[in-house]
Structure 1
């Protein structure tokens, strides 16, 4: 027994000596020498583009629950559809901020920083810069003052762990500078991004057009607070913007994993997709939109509208255009009886056409139709010397034809589109009426891109609709002017959060941001 104890003791000592002497070797056992130490930056561009389109989480909350109903594209009887009734839901309001800083913006910022000053990667740098700018522009237009210069750079050093909220005016200036630099740096002779560029397949000409079109959007947004700079930026960019629907920045999606599936579809069609929901209990086409389409004899009516009935049971559908009834905004299944005493089911109201919600349908970022409608507005204002009517006709035509990208079976013919546009009598309208027509058409052209529709409505006031009046609303019965910050910011980044509130105004849905003036 004593000998056994001696042997055990000696063995333990030997193990201790060996482990102490070979600590580095033991650590190396945990390192996979066959693994790459760097991620392909082109792959990160592709991933970043998908993340800009987003996941179901923030698309449902930001684009649909809040924006689509605040702008009266859609309506819902569900109480949790907060935008419809001007409620505040902390998770829904902060969802875009919560998810995009830690995913899309972090990814794209890494690509931007790693490719800066690398000549052979100039196209990758340009594409990543424009995508980062696009997402941060969307971020600031949702919330106002937000982290910009330090955004996505937390791994670069402790100084970025609690990012400063930058003034929106400074963000806009930086966006313009960044986008122009990226646009002017593209070189079609090198570094073709190919399939790793999901948006444009490495086509640098389309990237330049996208950059210019985005600059036009940014310029118009700031036109009331910095008109001189806005006009200069707009005019400089307008000559190189999108020229047809072939240039549309519509991100290809596919019916696959959550990372690349059309998230408008998962939220509005798939019952219980990823945690509940589905069209039967969620959004319907709003009464305001259906009436507007009907009153104008708009050929998009039965492109956007699917019919009345149970969207999951085609035998119940009524697809007669004259029988469509939009759902009024601002009601619940209990309060709707005040205007519809015989109410029995939400299926009495028109549902969204399922053909434009397929899971492999594209996700719209910015379209040629928007470009032409922006040019029409600029021409009416005297920024451009071109004919505003020509731009208006091109914009409305492109908007209607752009639905062909969604594989719809009832596309409008050229004659139907011409007849419709003639009926709008743009040429005979006053300048004020022209601007209203343009604003309404921009609103119609951005159906599905509800965030952009709400942004433009806050700037122009068009279309003119009546706000909802749910007794529990928290805005005093006015359409929200912004979303509230992600709620954890008040605790996790308190100093910078408080500074932002002091600079911009109370963190409320009714606080106007820099460019949103009367």
Structure 2
């Protein structure tokens, strides 16, 4: 709320000051309504308004309902950050045939959002700020600071856009674009990345020598809703971005990657779990509107089937199901290695994040969800062994007179029952395993265990912990310290250049930082069903109250994970690094995980993501159809690669990676 109050007190002052202007055409051209006169009347720099406004743009450094909705629906079919069981279990009704995320009602929003934002709301304030700066005869120290940080944010805009589309409309730094009569020129990754890496290097060097007076510090702190006026945090952010970008171009420009790694030696960089480039929805959006219509929580609420935790994540967390023999060659999972008293978490055998970011099934066990197609024919498939554990010890399996299998859901959510009849004929004991296995597989496939409602205690496989992700105070992690450590780890494994520590130590530290990040998200969520914003009344109390019993020692698990890491080949290490990155961000940072997966296909020889088997892999986003009509000259330049099957430049590939059905 402290951020929200700053915006109300300062940014809205600029709106109110210009509210009576008669020159409506100026407000139309400059929708934020900032002007030199308004700023002077408010006692702040005009650039301060553009700076603060830029930080608060939707889906820039914070979440956004509409964008997150389409990421959950379409993007997670590509990355598999949350497994959608209707597309992995045959009992839902789909056939084993290729599908894609294109050409349906959500395609436009999923493909076009970043391109449209990068050419409108993410860039317009920067250009207006540049115009004001260019007209200043003697910019103040704060004016210089604001324009430099706007340039940093502009570089971030272009990174986001070029990673998804390659060639995008580019405006050189120092130009106000169309406001000065300059037309944007389409540039691709090979041109943009060297530019932004150099520009942000110069910005960080400027910040390293900057000295502000106490008055200037107070004014800047009031405007900086990202890092509260902390210049050192901005330096860390700049260097962390440069590391990310250096790794992104490593397949094509390894010499540049090595140069950047050398330049980063001794520089401040994100290194604590609270180092996050992100702003919470609640810091910007009115709580009542956040509750009902805005923010990423609504996207989760409307896509409850997209939040089942991947088995790929539970595997690297060293969650091991306890397998038992049911006789007749049948197996089942009876428990997991967390243990009834959480001994697996306490002794470091199991990743502490299990307790922070995942919720168990209704029996209290943690079973991830496979992304691979399960046709139901294998009685000992992973899912079949999971569901068999629910009924194998039930009396109905040994007493033929019992004609019903009952499922009592926690939290008073009622009791479901499966009657053991086929065409009014009682199923004999010898056929009950097959009968109940199919029924419970249908239950998971159809999301009947949750009733298509988010956060229900009756789920039969693990979902994400609602306390961690259904969290209005969550600072949307566009970049956090765990990513930094994982980028260093990969650089060390692949020999790109000097890194602060060895690959194993960076890998280990990344796990510890991510664990602390997710612990804080869980335990610091103060929402209830009665707060605004708060949890939906339909959510089960046990899911809302799924807090860890204690803060488990992440270093114990991290050391054991590092020991396993030591035994891997270089390719296996890089794969493990990617899975840690993907798990760290899971459903919260689709874009960078998508970029990293595409980049690593060449080195690994396979796709490290968790893409669902039924779905066609896409290599890039396609352009809005409106470009062809609005800018025929640009369309002639870019139309040749408006193809989601065409690998991006940074991947170093010319051939598309193909999923199993392609």
Task: State the distance in 2 between where 1:184 and 1:150 align.
Answer: 20
| Alignment match, 1:127 | 149
CA displacement, residues 43-62 of structure 1 (integer Å, 9 cap, x when unaligned): 22122112123563553256
Instruction: Output the aligned Cα RMSD.
Output: 3.5
Contact 1:112 1:129 in 2 (8 A): no
2:589 match = 449
Is 1:497 matched up with 2:635?
Answer: yes
Residues 449-507 of structure 1: per-residue CA shift (max 9 Å, x gap):
1211111111124773564343xx5xxx3x211111122112212220220233xx2x1
Structure 2 residue 256 is matched with structure 1 residue 118:
no
**Correspondence 1:354 to 2:466:** yes
Report if the CA contact (8 A) 1:67-1:450 is conserved: yes
Where does residue 369 of structure 2 map in the other structure?
Answer: 326
Quick check: 2:351–2:557 contact (8 Å CA) kept in 1? no
Once residues 412 and 62 of structure 1 are traced to their aligned partners in structure 2, the CA distance between those partners, rounded to angstroms, is 35
Q: What does residue 7 of structure 1 align with? A: none
Q: Which residue of 1 aligns with 2:408?
A: none
- Post-superposition Cα deviations, 1:59-100, rounded to whole Å, max 9, x if no partner, equal 325643343442211133689xxx994434123211222234
2:111 maps to what in 1? Answer: 93
| 1:10-409 map, 5 Å | 30=22, 37-38=37-38, 40-51=46-57, 52-53=60-61, 56=64, 58-61=66-69, 63-76=71-84, 85-88=100-103, 89-115=107-133, 118-120=139-141, 121-149=143-171, 153=176, 155-160=178-183, 163-186=184-207, 187-190=210-213, 191-192=216-217, 193-240=220-267, 241-254=269-282, 257=285, 263-269=295-301, 278-280=302-304, 282-293=306-317, 294-295=319-320, 297-308=350-361, 318=362, 320-322=364-366, 324-326=367-369, 328=371, 340-341=441-442, 343-345=445-447, 347=450, 348=459, 349-356=461-468, 357-382=470-495, 383-384=497-498, 386-408=501-523, 409=547
Number of residue pairs aligned between Structure 1 and Structure 2 = 454
Report deviation, 1:399: 1.2
Q: Distance in 1 between matches of 2:635 and 2:206?
A: 35
Aligned-partner Cα distance in 1 for 2:279–2:114: 18
Looking at structure 2, the residues matched to 258 and 165 of structure 1 have their Cα atoms a distance apart, in angstroms, of 37
Question: Is residue 149–residue 166 contact of structure 1 (8 Å, CA) maintained in 2?
Answer: no
**Contact residue 76 and residue 84 of structure 1 kept, 8 A:** no
What per-residue deviation string (whole Å, max 9, x for no partner) do you get for residues 156-180 of structure 1?
14542xx331122111122112212
Query: Partners in 2 of 1:258 and 1:487 — Cα distance?
Result: 34
Does the aligned pair in 1 maintain the 2:351–2:554 contact within 8 Å? no
- Tell me how far 1:429 sits from its aligned partner: 2.8
Distance 1:393 1:118, change over 3 A: same
**Match runs of 1:452-467 below 5 Å:** 452-461=592-601, 464=608, 467=611
Supply the distance in 2 between the matched residues of 1:372 and 1:29 (Cα, whole angstroms): 51
> Which deviates further from its counterpart, 493-502 or 293-302?
293-302
Match of 1:313 in 2: none
Given candidates 488, 497, 506, the residue that maps to 2:626 is 488
Structure 1 spans left out of the alignment, 5+ residues:
1-27, 270-277, 309-317
What is the deviation of 1:137? 0.6
Contact 1:376 1:438 in 2 (8 A): yes
Give 1:415's aligned residue.
Answer: 553
What secondary structure is seen at the aligned counterpart in 2 of 1:74?
coil
List gaps (5 residues or longer) in structure 2. Answer: 1-19, 25-34, 40-45, 88-97, 321-348, 375-382, 384-437, 451-458, 524-546, 654-662
Q: Which has the higher helix share?
A: 1
Deviation for aligned residue 1:407: 4.0
Deviation at 1:247, TM superposition (A): 3.0
Shift in CA distance, 359/169, structure 1 to aligned 2, threshold 3 Å: same
Distance in 2 of aligned mates of 1:198 and 1:415: 32
Give CA deviations for 1:268-287 in whole Å, capped at 9, x if unaligned.
13xxxxxxxx2435543345
Report the CA distance between 1:109 and its aligned residue: 3.4
TM-score (normalised: structure 2)? 0.61
Deviation, 1:394, is: 1.2
SS state at 1:410 partner: coil
1:322-349 deviation per Cα after TM superposition (whole angstroms, max 9, x unaligned): 3x45374789xxxx99994454435245
